[in-house]
Structure 1
Amino acid sequence: MTIIRRATAIGATVTATACAALALAPAAAAAPKAAAPKAAAAQYNGACGSGYSVVNSAQIGTKGTVFLTYNSATGKNCVVTVRTTPGKAVHMTASLGFASPTTTVTDTGYFTTYAGPVYLDARGLCVTWRGEISGEVAGKNGTNCGTLAADRH
């Protein structure tokens, strides 16, 4: 399998959050704390190509999202891991596999924007898929099962 890596340098806007100093006050007089804003999830970038639709995803903390896609015309699954905010190259992985027979395809390396795509024909099988960004991992085991054929001769 030949994997084409796309690692484009993209200028990222950095936003700094300053912490305001809090005056000490009795607990009863303290203002209620505001909930921290939820990090925006990365968007699927179309890296798997035409005919692939997102069928599942898992957020990798605030760093990005791993997407599982499927092409019904070819019966192939594809996985791509996308960073929320592209920047300096970091260690990333996109992985896709199934249990019987044990098969896994992985793209791993240092990327600025995304890892993958990796493809696997898993018609009639459940897939296990993962994404990793800078040591943080997300994914799912044995999901998106196709209709299992009763007779697989």
Structure 2
Amino acid sequence: MRFARSALTAAALAALTAGTTAALAAPASAAPNTTPQKVCGSAYKTVNSAPVGSLGTVYLTYNASNGKNCVATIRNNPGTAVAMSAWIYIADTDQGDEDYGQYTSYAGPTYVYGKAHCVDWGGNISNIYVQVSASNCGALKEQRLTYTR
């Protein structure tokens, strides 16, 4: 009886330990914890995007009711804070907005009125930078540049 109780206790302890270890283990790659709409607002629809290498994506969104664009840079795998940015600029009006800092998940939001204007926008995650020029302006062909610093 004493052996059966010891074996049962040991088995229960082993199962508890295995369960705790499984519960505390982090997934191999954490899913992003946000979306462009969570960063910019639910009325903003994604109209363009650009990958930031394999680290994440810069999103250009637009709100048709107020004519504003918003840019957010979102990491694929949130984690330790790294240098990140999101920026937007309208050359016709010389208006822009930017957000630079050390972030764990996303940079932004950055807003500018852009109805009927070409938009320059971009961002970075760590040392990978993306710049999109002459975007979303009809007949003009946008220019994309991705570079490492």
Please report the TM-score for the alignment, with normalisation by the length of structure 1.
0.66
Contact 1:42–1:64 (CA under 8 A) maintained in structure 2: no
Contact 2:96–2:111 (CA under 8 A) maintained in structure 1: no
Deviations 1:25-59 (A, max 9, x none): xxxxxxxxxxxxxxx99973421102110000000
Equivalent in the alignment of 1:81:
73
Deviation at residue 103 of structure 1 after TM alignment? 2.3
- Unaligned segments of structure 1, at least 5 residues: 1-10, 17-39, 147-153
Between structures 1 and 2, the one with greater helix share: 2
Deviations 1:67-107 (A, max 9, x none): 00000001000000000000000000000001123222100
RMSD (Å), alpha carbons: 2.8
Q: 1:123 aligns with which of 115, 134, 143?
A: 115
Contact 2:32–2:78 (CA under 8 A) maintained in structure 1: no
Distance change >3 Å, CA 136–CA 77, structure 1 → 2 = same
Contact 2:33–2:105 (CA under 8 A) maintained in structure 1: no
Equivalent-residue separation in structure 1 for 2:80 and 2:110 (angstroms):
22
Equivalent in the alignment of 1:149:
none
Matched, 1:139 2:139: no
User: Identical aligned pairs, as a percentage?
Assistant: 43
Deviation at residue 12 of structure 1 after TM alignment? 9.7
Between structures 1 and 2, the one with greater strand share: 2
Equivalent-residue separation in structure 1 for 2:28 and 2:100 (angstroms):
28
Deviation at residue 66 of structure 1 after TM alignment? 0.2
Contact 1:42–1:65 (CA under 8 A) maintained in structure 2: no
Deviation at residue 124 of structure 1 after TM alignment? 1.3
Contact 1:66–1:139 (CA under 8 A) maintained in structure 2: no
Larger radius of gyration: 2
**Taking CA–CA contacts closer than 8 Å with sequence separation of 6 or more, which of the two structures ends up with the larger relative contact order?**
1
Equivalent in the alignment of 2:35:
44
- Unaligned segments of structure 2, at least 5 residues: 1-23, 139-149
Aligned residues: 114
Contact 2:68–2:112 (CA under 8 A) maintained in structure 1: yes
Distance change >3 Å, CA 124–CA 45, structure 1 → 2 = closer
How do 1:62-101 and structure 2 match up within 5 A?
A: 62-101=54-93
How do 1:20-35 and structure 2 match up within 5 A?
A: none
